[in-house]
Structures are given as C-alpha cells and as structure tokens.
Structure 1
Amino acid sequence: MATHHISAGKWAFWGLLGLLALAVLAFLFRPESVWVDLATVTRGPMEVTVVEEGKTRVKDRYRVSAPVAGYLHRVQLDVGDRVTPDQPLALVDPTPASILDPRTRAEAEARAAAAGAALQSIREKVQAAEADATMAQADLARLQALDAARFVSAERLQQARSAAVRAQAILRSARFDEEVAAHELAAARTRLQVSSAASNGQQPAEQVTVHSPIDGTVLALLRQSEGIVQAGEPLMEVGDPRALEIVVDVLSEDAVRLHPGLPTRLTGWGGPPLDATVRRVEPVGFKDVSALGVEEQRVQVISDLASPPEAWQSLGDGYRVDANFILWQSGSALQVPASSVFTQDGQSAVFLVIGQMAHRQSLTVGASNGLMTQIIDGLAEGDRVVRHPGRELSDGDRVRER
C-alpha cells in the first residue's frame, strides 16, 4: 500500500515537472509581439485641396506712356499716391531743335535773307499787278459807258472785259506768291529763333501734359527722373487696388481638376482666411523651373475675392497668398490616417487591432487628401488600426503599442 502511494506521488511530481518544462519551452519559443504605432478611427471635418502659392494682382492696369518724343520733366508722384481722372501726371516738352554750328547758322541766315529779298520782290510784283488790274478795270468801265451810247464796238468791249479778268487773275496769283514767300521767310527765321532759344536755355513755347486715365493709385514708376523720352516710352502704371484678383500658377495635372466657380480659401497672407472663387483656368500652359531645378508645366488660375473688402483692405498689388482650391469637403467624414491604408490584391485594407492581435480588414475608401482617407465601409468610429504597417506584420500577429 505504501509502495502504491510512493509510485503515484512520483508520477505526479514528474508530470508537473514536464508541464512546467513545456510551459517554459512554449514561453521561450513563442512569437514575439511586433511593436507598432496605433491610430484611432475618427469622425470629423475633412476636405481635399490643391494648395499652391499665388499673388494678388490689380485687375485693370493702365500703362501710361509718353505721347511724343521730347524732354520729360521730373515726375512728382510716388508709388501709392492717389490719382483722379484727367489729373496731370507728367509734362513733356517736345524735342527741341539742335543748336546750329557757325557754318549752318550762316547758311540759315543767308536763306532767311534770301527769303526776305524774294518776299520784297514779290511784293513789288503785287503792286504792279494791282496797278494793271486798276487800269484794266477803269478801261472796262469807260468802254461800258461808251457802249450805252453805241460809240464802241462789241469786240472792243469784250477785249476790255478779258483784259480786266486777266489782270485780276494775275493779281491773285501774285498775292498767293507773296503768302508763300512770307511763309518761307517765317520758316527760315523760326529755325534761327528756336535754335537761339535752345542755346540760351529758354523754355519751349509748347508742353504736352500726360493725364491719368482712371481714378486709382500709382502702382509703379517706370520713369521718374527728367530726361529725353521717346514717343510711346512707358512712364508709370496706374490702377485701382480696390479691384484685386488672385493669380496662381498650378501644375497642369492639378489644373485639370479645377473649374470656374470652385471655392478657394486664401491663407498665409498675414490675416484671417479669405474666401475666393475660381473665375478662369487659362487654356494654355507654360514651362517653369522649380526651386529644385525641375522643369514643370504650369497653368495660370485666376480667382476673385468673395470676402467683404473690409477683411482684405490691407492687401495690395503683388502680395503673396496661399491658395487652397477645395476639390471636396465634408463636415462629418469617417476617416483614418492615409498611412494606415495599404493595397493588397487590388483591395484597400488596414490592420485592425483587437486586443493584442492584428487582423487584416478590407475597406471601401473614398476621398483622400494625403493625410487622411475617408472610410465608406469596413471600420467603425473608435476602432484602432496600425499606422505605417511594415512587411513584417501579418494577419493574426501579436502587436504591442510603442
């Protein structure tokens, strides 16, 4: 009997020892938990945007140019000064005549003297023509008196009439020649007078005033110092800074997703966010080089401010803004970090953590903005998923949160 009890105790001892050994081996060879970062499925506002840097621009800019070639007086306006319609902006003296050298001056004086002599000669001819016309008219009057008494023939009377008409024509021609000679003399004298005035520092007789075309502000002074200007040379730019638009250069692959009427949010300008609306997406792109030296195709997108002017009155022409083009938005979207979602066999999925186990969970996803992804089906609010799942993580693995 005692031997039976000793044998049963021995077997119990060795059985417990074997179970303990198996437990130790199971503990030693159990799979280690994978260290992971976890994220919680939440519900809240979400939007998908295209963000690019842009700048403000006055809608209607007017470039004021010199109407004539000449000498520009110094512009007294500064950038930012208010201007009104027809307000004088600048004065331009027409190009003065060049100063004559002694030889040219002597020739000009000789031409003026010759023109004066020619005028005097023509005036003598005018006096002679006047005398002939007076004589012809007197003869015609005398013959007409005799014709009443029939003491003169009709042929003689007709000759007298013809002589009177011819004398008047010669007189008119002489007077026209006198006017031409007078103008030639005036031109010769003007050349001398204008050149003399320029050499003596006198002011020219005429000045051309450049007027403002609009009610606005001076945006840029392209020429402020006095000096010679050519006709059509730009002097300044004016515009109304109360009429601003936003110009943004967008990558062409993003521009195809934009359209007129798209809501836009403006940030990064130093004030509160502003509302704007896309007015036009340019149909022509252009090549640009990024800060990293990469060539990119970009498209200009023009937006109009929708916020009240009081909110952006401190903005001016050429100010920097960050334009957020809102492609999609929701006030209550079930979402998860985009880094948690991966694709396997063409199906979106996450690793859903229940307890300490990771389970592969298939999903139906919606919009994504690169940071968060909308969940349509497959998860519930409050679920915990693995963020940045690695290749070492498999379905059913034990996980431990860092």
Structure 2
Amino acid sequence: MKSKGRWLFWSALAVLLLLAIWLASRPDPRWVDLVEASSGPLRVTIVEEGRTRVKDRYVVSSPVNGYLHRIDLDVGDALTAGQPLSWVDPMPVSVLDARSRAEAQARVKAAEASLESVRQEVSAAQADAELAASDYQRLLSLTESRFVSDEQLQQARAATSRAQAVVRSARFRQEVAVHELAAARTRLDISAGAAPQGEVLHQVAVRSPVKGAVLGLKREHEGVVNAGDPLVEVGDPAALEVVVEVLSFDAVKLSPGMAVELTGWGGDVLDARVRRVEPVGFEEVSALGVEERRVQVIVDLASPRQLWSALGDGYRVDAEFILWHGEEQLQVPASAVFRVDDGQGVFVVSDGIARLRPVQTGPGNGLMMVIEQGLASGERVVRHPDRDLSEGDPVRAR
C-alpha cells in the first residue's frame, strides 16, 4: 500500500515538473492589433488640387497707334458684344503707298475668309449639338422601359453639355472674327485718309468682341499706346473649366470621360468629367523641395449652372478622380496584406493562434484593400504584422 502511494506521489511530481518545464519553454503571446474583415463600399481615387478658369479668354488690344482714353471699367463688369471699352485718338498718318495699300487690302480679305471659315465651324458645331440633344432625348424616353442604364444617360447628358460648350466657343470665335474684320477695314480706311462709315476719323472705338465680363485690366489709365498693346481681358464667366495638375504617374491612369467629383470650393459636391489629358508634362518643385513631373488635366463641369454659379475664374477646388468603385466589397486594411511567395496573404487569428492565410486581392485605395478570395466576413486579421510573426505563433489582442 505504501509503495503504491509512493508511486502516485512521484508520478504526480513528475507531471507537475513536466508541466512547469513546458510552461517555462512556451513562447509568450505576441501583442497585436486585430481587425475584422467587413463588407462595404470602396472607391479608388486620385485627389489633387485644381483651379477654375474661363474657357475662352480674349485680350482686346489697341487697333491703332494713338492716345488712349481712360478705361472706366472694373473687373467683373458685364459686357455685351460690340460694347465700347474705350476710345483711341489715332496719330496722324500718311497716305499709303501702292504696296502698303495692297497689304492692307490683303489683310481685309484674309479677315473675311477667316470669318467665313468660322461661320462654317459654327454651323457644324450647331449640327453636332442638335444631334447630341436628340440622342439624349431619345435615351431619356427609354429610361422608363429600363433599356438604358444610368451611366449611358449620364454620358449622353455630358456629351450634350460638351456639344453646347463647343457651339458657344465657336460663336465666340465668330464674334472675334467679325471684330478682327472690322478692325482690318478700319485700319485700311484710316490709313487711306477716309473715315469709316458713321464714325469720326479722329476717334477709334475699342470694343468687346464677345458677350461676357471683364476678367482683367491690362491698362486702365489714359496715355499713348501702340497698335497691338493689350488693354482689357474679357471672357464669359459662365463657361468655366477646371485645370488640375496631377503627377505623371497618375496621369496615365486617367482618360477622357472619366468621372470626377469637385469639392473643397465652399459649396456642394459637383459632378464633372475629364475632357483632355494633355500629352506634355512639365517639372514642378513641391513645397518640400521635391522635383515632380506633372501633367495638366482639363475637366468640364457636368452639374447644373445654378449649383456652381458662385464659382469664378481662378477659384480653388479639390478634384477627386474616380478610378474604380464597388458596393459591398469584402475588405481589410491594406497594411494587413503582405507578399507570400508569388502571391499575397494575411494572418488570421483563431483561438489565440496566428494562421497564415493566402488570399487573392482586388483594387485598393492605399488604406483599404478588396479581398476577392481566401477570407470570410467577420474573420479577424492582424492589422500590422511584423517580420517576426510566424505561422502558429500565439497572439493576444491589444
């Protein structure tokens, strides 16, 4: 009986000793940050700062050498096409010789040909605008039957807006061509010693070529000017575009028609579309002194005019280019995903043990990454796995 009790005592002591040795040799659990894989919307975007500018700008210059009267206008004043901006008293000129007269007449004919060419452009732009509006109305009538997607309808609306903008631009060029023709005829008549019809010889009007507003005053005070000296910059503030300078690395990901959201200007989020990615880059030094290669991207506003009527020329905006978006996408923090051999993986924690799990990833925005295969919603993964964490290590959540 004594021998049996002694055997039980030594057996229990041996078990306790082995247990103590195992506990002493077992590694301590590693403290980690855990996060659950969850489903939700995700967008991959590029955000850069941009500025607004008037699409069609015109610098009105002095048509003749002479004495300029003071320009009584302020920046922002509304203008009508043909409105006098100021007056110039021409310097006395001599009668043209045969060669100079022929050159002046050739300039008039060139201006007439340019005007006719612009008129044809206006007709073509008007036809394109009518076709775009017709296509939009046709698609709009099919929305109730669900034969047309919202994206097709939005693209048709944007195409209509772009076509109308092209028509406005062509009409502006036509008004400028009319103004240039009148200026060429004025120079010919004044140099020949004859006054234009209905106008006094000793005073020439400087007129606005288009309907719009004053964007800048190149010269405000009176004094002697030469022919071609810039006087006033005019344009239509209702025809705005946005210029965004993006890194050349990001510019290759953009294409015409891509959706853009404009924020950070003091109002609601505005819808816009990429119109052109310029093919020429330039060098710019950042605020940190880093040399960067950047590309200008031109963006057209797609939201109704009343939503951005407070915007003017040269205003700051934040442009968010939407590269990809999805709804109900299973995602984890991008820091939880790391490279494993030829693929990618995460550490999934179950019962306090870290398990290496290969996964197939999708798009990511730098903060979150889509998991297409290998992970289920609700599973916990290590947010920031370090190089010392291995398969089967015990872990403890902070």
Q: TM-score, with normalisation over the residues of structure 2? A: 0.70
Answering whether residue 87 of structure 2 is matched by residue 86 of structure 1, we say no
Separation in 1, partners of 2:251, 2:228: 37
Q: How does 1:165-204 map to 2 (within 5 A)?
A: none
Q: CA deviation at 1:280?
A: 1.1
Task: Give the aligned partner of residue 337 of structure 1.
Answer: 333
SS in 1 for 2:332: strand
Match in the other structure for 1:34: 30
The one of 356, 364, 372 equivalent to 2:360 is 364
SS of the residue aligned with 2:206? strand
User: Quick one: which amino acid aligns to residue 232 of structure 1?
Assistant: G
Please name the residue that 2:162 is paired with.
Answer: none
CA deviation profile, 1:308-355 (whole Å, cap 9, x unmatched): 111111111111111111111112211111111001212110001112
> 2:208 is matched with which residue?
212
Match of 2:33, SS? strand
Structure 1 residues 226-277: Cα deviation after superposition (integer angstroms, max 9, x where no partner): 2222211111211111111111112222111111111111111111211101
Query: Is residue 224 from structure 1 mapped to residue 211 from structure 2 by the alignment?
Result: no
1:352-395 CA distance string (max 9 Å, x none): 11121111000111111111111110001111111111011001
| SS of equivalent to 1:363 | strand
Report what 2:295 is aligned to: 299
Matched residue, 2:258: 262
Alignment of 1:2-401 (within 5 A): 5-95=1-91, 206-401=202-397
Return closer, same or farther for 1:361/1:315 CA change in 2, 3 Å cut-off.
Answer: same
Using the TM superposition, give the Cα deviation of residue 292 of structure 1 relative to its aligned residue in structure 2, in angstroms: 2.4
Runs of 4+ in 1 over 6 A off after TM superposition: none
Query: Residue 15 of structure 1: SS of its match in structure 2?
Result: helix
Secondary structure of 1:350 counterpart: strand
- In the alignment of these two chains, the number of paired residues is 292
Secondary structure (helix, strand or coil) at the match of 2:300 reads strand
Report what 1:164 is aligned to. Answer: none
Deviations 1:80-129 (A, max 9, x none): 111111111122222479xxxxxxxxxxxxxxxxxxxxxxxxxxxxxxxx
Stretch deviating more after TM superposition (25-34 or 291-300): 291-300
Aligned counterparts of 2:35 and 2:67: Cα–Cα separation in 1: 74
CA deviation profile, 1:144-173 (whole Å, cap 9, x unmatched): xxxxxxxxxxxxxxxxxxxxxxxxxxxxxx
| Aligned equivalents of 2:33, 2:61: Cα separation in 1 | 66
Sequence identity percentage? 60
Runs of 5+ in structure 2 lacking a partner? 94-199
1:282, distance to aligned residue in structure 2 (A): 1.3
How many Å separate the matches in 2 of 1:278 and 1:205? 50
1:8/1:382 CA distance change after superposition, 3 Å: same
SS of equivalent to 1:19: helix
Unaligned runs of 5+ in 1: 98-203
Aligned residue in 1 for 2:135: none
- Who wins on radius of gyration, i.e. which is larger? 1
Moved more, 68-77 or 303-312: 68-77
- Aligned 8 A contact 2:340 2:358 in 1: no
Q: For 2:217 and 2:367, how far apart are their aligned partners in 1? A: 46
CA distance in 2, matches of 1:332, 1:90: 63
CA distance in 2, matches of 1:252, 1:372: 24
Cα distance in 2 between the residues matched to 1:35 and 1:309:
55
Letter in 2 for 1:267: T
Q: Secondary structure, in 3 states, of the residue corresponding to 1:56?
A: strand
